[in-house]
Structure 1
Amino acid sequence: MSDPSQYTRQREKSARDLTYPAPPEPLPFPVYDNHAHLEIEDGEQPLNLGEQLSRAAAVGVAGVVQAGGDIDSSRWSAWAASQHPRVLAAVAIHPNEAPAYRAAGRLDEAIAVIDDLATQPRVRAIGETGLDFFRTGTEGIPAQVESFEAHIALAKKHGIAMQIHDRDAHDDVLATLQRVGAPDRTVFHCFSGDADMARIAADRGYWLSFAGNVTFKNAQNLRDALAVTPRERILVETDAPFLTPVPHRGRPNAPYLVPVTVRFMAAELGVDLAEMCAQLAANTVEAYGRFED
């Protein structure tokens, strides 16, 4: 399969600064961006997949987990992972997409596509899946729950990790995982809870992945959560092209900006930067396996 550009989505442009920030200083030990959406173009001069990976490698970001959110982006993610040894894939129907698929009578079909994609060796996670009560009204909740439970079953079936999208649904996500039984490797992508939730998640053996918004002035809850999370439960991500870390907030995000967030996290925790990098890398490999395999 060639680069399926028909699956690339263009972000809505605005008056914000659309130039990519300058590359940060390279990290002393390579890490991984465990959640990005590189199929989404952004910026005045969008970076293609090869450029994204080259920029990332130059600053010590050795690989990226490319996440899907619908049939097309999940297929693109699996394709990207099959073409590049520095990419692994996560595939899923995003919770905000689930009601539309259900309304069209296609949710079962969509989940079957995800099931098939998950058989590919470089698809290492089901994600992003979960619950989102911010963008979807109460009428969409049943479809989200149905989809979430089906994705949990797929992660268990294929023996791979699961990446959770949780927005304004903390209690319901935790309750669903407890009721249905979480996969052995469960990651809260772009963790958005507080310290109490972080303790619960870590105690259950879940990983908490922190994105660039941990650097935002109004995100003290995330810094509090980071502070109480055991080091072996911490991951880092960009959620690119979204959530660009301070001081570049609002500009296009990309995996090569992971070092900005990693340095911030190390400083917050009072941890040596190289030690922080080594721990993040080990955690990522434990969650998804080796990129070279």
Structure 2
Amino acid sequence: MGDEKRELPPIPDRLPASVVDAHTHLDACGAVTAADVTAMVDRAERAGVARVITVADDLASAQWAADASTWDTRVFAAVAIHPTRTKDFGDSERSEVEHLAKAAGVVAVGETGLDYYWGYSPHDAQQDAFRWHIDLAKRVGKPLMIHDREAHEDVLRILDEEGAPDDVVFHCFSGDEHIARRCIDAGYVLSFAGTVTFKNARGLHEAARICPAGQYLAETDAPFLTPHPFRGRPNEPYCAAYTVRHLAALRGEGVHEVAEAVRTTAERVFRLTGGSPA
């Protein structure tokens, strides 16, 4: 049984319309080389997940993600320093992140934000770094991809104080209906991960139901947060197809309709056209 739990879930039937996995970590999934990346995206495309955004959490990961975005036209990147790693976020790190954020294949600044669950970085260091990333996103003209864990009020407050970029994505949205309404009213985009498929995630279910088309995305956050009924197994970008189907069921809509909404929103927010950023 232990070995079975570590196996990848089966690749689902292809979605009726292709989607974008708005947030994954291909390096953490085990990809090292261009061939590894292509193999993962090939599996994703079999399920109708035609493009992916691989996201950094530290400087080495940011450098790798930016490189990976040049290896396959279906792969894009987001770069930032994760809030749990901001304790030692100095000038040299900021300079390199800014340099990488300007690359053509990098379509967002992220994941940045606040994480009050883990105690790896002081809150003030996280908030300073978050403010800097907000400014960077505005300076390079790219969307801001937010990590928000048990920090909803401070995240929303700082966005208001700094002035949000034109496009803001709440990666792996974790709020309830009340927080969702505030984000929606502010024009932010909610990205739903495998957690929205969990049976006990009632607040997320309500958030997914009320989010209008044009303000929601689907993601895996792979290799983490594998959708139900495969919790405990590794995750990969193709599993976004399971989440899209679950979103359709929650919303009482057709899978094709939800897939199209996910695709068009991702293309607009991340400025994707065909296999490359606009």
Q: Which runs of 4+ in 1 moved over 3 A?
A: none
Q: Kindly provide the CA deviation profile for residues 145-189 of structure 1, in whole angstroms up to 9, marking residues without a partner as x.
A: 110001001100000011000000000000000010111010000
Residue 125 (structure 1) aligns with = 108
Residue 8 (structure 1) aligns with = none
Contact 1:165 / 1:190 at 8 angstroms: preserved in 2?
Answer: yes
Q: How does 1:1-293 map to 2 (within 5 A)?
A: 17-41=5-29, 48-99=36-87, 101-102=88-89, 107-136=90-119, 140-290=122-272, 291-293=275-277
1:15–1:146: structure 2 CA closer, same or farther, 3 Å change rule?
farther
- How far apart, CA to CA, are the structure 1 residues paired with 2:53 and 2:59? 17
- How far apart, CA to CA, are the structure 1 residues paired with 2:15 and 2:187? 28
Contact 1:195 / 1:222 at 8 angstroms: preserved in 2?
Answer: yes
1:134–1:16: structure 2 CA closer, same or farther, 3 Å change rule?
farther
Q: Kindly provide the CA deviation profile for residues 213-239 of structure 1, in whole angstroms up to 9, marking residues without a partner as x.
A: 101122111101111111210100000
- How far apart, CA to CA, are the structure 1 residues paired with 2:13 and 2:45? 12
Q: Give the root-mean-square deviation of aligned CA atoms.
A: 1.6
- How far apart, CA to CA, are the structure 1 residues paired with 2:205 and 2:225? 15
Calculate the TM-score normalised by the size of structure 1. 0.89
1:115–1:42: structure 2 CA closer, same or farther, 3 Å change rule?
closer
Residue ranges of structure 2 left out of the alignment (5+ in a row):
none
- How far apart, CA to CA, are the structure 1 residues paired with 2:268 and 2:29? 30
Partner amino acid, structure 1, of 2:209:
A
Partner amino acid, structure 2, of 1:113:
E
Calculate the TM-score normalised by the size of structure 2. 0.94
- How far apart, CA to CA, are the structure 2 residues paired with 1:26 and 1:269? 20
Aligned residue for 1:231, secondary structure, equals coil
Aligned residue for 1:166, secondary structure, equals strand
Q: Percent of pairs identical after alignment? A: 43
Contact 1:131 / 1:148 at 8 angstroms: preserved in 2?
Answer: yes
Aligned residue for 1:83, secondary structure, equals coil
- How far apart, CA to CA, are the structure 2 residues paired with 1:278 and 1:90? 22
Question: Matched residue pairs, number?
Answer: 271
1:42–1:84: structure 2 CA closer, same or farther, 3 Å change rule?
closer
Give, in angstroms, the shift of residue 16 of structure 1.
Answer: 7.5
Partner amino acid, structure 1, of 2:200:
N
